[in-house]
Amino acid sequence: MWTTWRTGNYIVLLLVLIKESKQNYMDATRLMKKLFGEGTYDKRVIPANKTTGQISIAASMTPQQILDLDEKNQILRTIIFVDFMWPDERLVWDPSDYGGVDHVLVPNEMVWKPDMIMRNSAGMRMFFASKFDVSEVIVYSDGKINWYPLLLSETACKIDVELYPFDYQECEFLVAPWSYDVTVMNFSFGSEPLSTKYIQQNNEWHVLGSEVVFYLEHFDCCPEAYATMKFILKLYRRASFYTISQIIPCILLTILTTMVFLLPPESGEKISLGVAVWTSLVVFLLILVELIPRSATKTPILVYVHSSGEGLVHDMQ
């Protein structure tokens, strides 16, 4: 009898869940027809405010992973999420009319999206929106839209190698609209403009912090200014490997260089040691040259140390 009663409860619960699921499906279907039914929404039309003629867009960035910082070519490769949020007054509804549904997820190609670009892109992809982007947008009942495009980003990053391998770099992401000036698009940063708490640890670079800057820029083509949002990642090199492989050998070679002067001139070992030290210094200098950007405005102090050692040994010979 107990088993029969328990089985009956399970059946009743299952029927209730099926009924609720069916009702939720029907509510969501009615809502989608209301929002995107034929002739009700045109994604080609910018959802500007009827009073101001502007649209307000908030942006936040979340780096997921630093793949590589190519010092020689001055390119930072990262995986990033950018959260764009804007209002669309055409996509407003009363949740109580649709079974309490207060948001829906729809393919991003169904709604109007800002034509945002990465201005300092060094790769093939500059636009955030693309035909390969299959992400969905979240549409809320008050008309707010959230779009989270994922980008495998390659951005230009000016490298300062003067203190290599104890160097500190600031790499920028310049996010801006392609077509719309400030009279049409009003930009701001989200509540957490640049979050680094979810970024995966990189073996070579440690994220020290971040910074965001907003500025306007004029171009010769157009009378109005264009907005740019600058997201800055502050990176510090993990120098333990380079300390062992480059700094310590450099110190030892410097000590050996001074020891050459202690040997008497008639000693044959003096020339042999001098040649060995000079060759080692040249090899280390060639390794450093391969790492330094060709357009670098500053030369690493380590290069001066090796060059000075070479000069001393050469003069001794």
Going by pLDDT thresholds of 50, 70 and 90, the confidence category of residue 69 is very high
**Residue 292: predicted pLDDT:** 67
Going by pLDDT thresholds of 50, 70 and 90, the confidence category of residue 218 is confident
CB within 8 Å of 180: residues ≥ 6 apart: 46, 114, 115
Q: What is the pLDDT of residues 2-12, one digit of tens each?
A: 455 444 444 43
**Residue 311: predicted pLDDT:** 59
Q: Give the fold, CATH level 3, of 241-316.
A: Methane Monooxygenase Hydroxylase; Chain G, domain 1 (1.20.58)
Going by pLDDT thresholds of 50, 70 and 90, the confidence category of residue 58 is very high
Q: Give the fold, CATH level 3, of 55-238.
A: Acetylcholine Binding Protein; Chain: A, (2.70.170)
**Residue 5: predicted pLDDT:** 43
**Beta pairing, strands 75-87 & 144-147:** antiparallel
Tally of CB atoms within 10 A around 31: 19
Q: Which residue has the higher pLDDT, 317 or 136?
A: 136
- pLDDT at 205 > cutoff 60: yes
- pLDDT at 86 > cutoff 50: yes
- Phi and psi for 45 in degrees, rounded to 5? -95, 125
CB 239 within 8 A of CB 204: no
Query: String of b and e for 238-263 (b: at least 16 CB within 10 Å)?
Result: ebeebeeebeeebeebbebbeebeeb
- Phi and psi for 247 in degrees, rounded to 5? -70, -50
**Burial class of 51 by CB neighbour count within 10 A (0 to 12, 13 to 18, 19+):** exposed
Going by pLDDT thresholds of 50, 70 and 90, the confidence category of residue 285 is confident
Coil, strand, or helix at residue 279?
Answer: helix
Maximal CA-CA distance, the chain = 111
Distance from C-alpha of 78 to C-alpha of 173, rounded to nearest angstrom: 10
| CA of residue 72 relative to chain centroid, distance | 19
SS (H, E, C) 46-97: CCCCCCCCCEEEEEEEEEEEEEEEECCCCEEEEEEEEEEEEECCCCCCCHHH
Query: Percentage of the chain with pLDDT > 70?
Result: 81
Distance from C-alpha of 307 to C-alpha of 291, rounded to nearest angstrom: 16
**Residue 12: predicted pLDDT:** 38
Confirm whether pTM is higher than 0.85.
no
Tokens standing for residue 32? 């989608």
- Block residue for tokens 């000069």: 311
Q: What is the pLDDT of residues 156-179, one digit of tens each?
A: 999 888 888 888 999 999 999 988
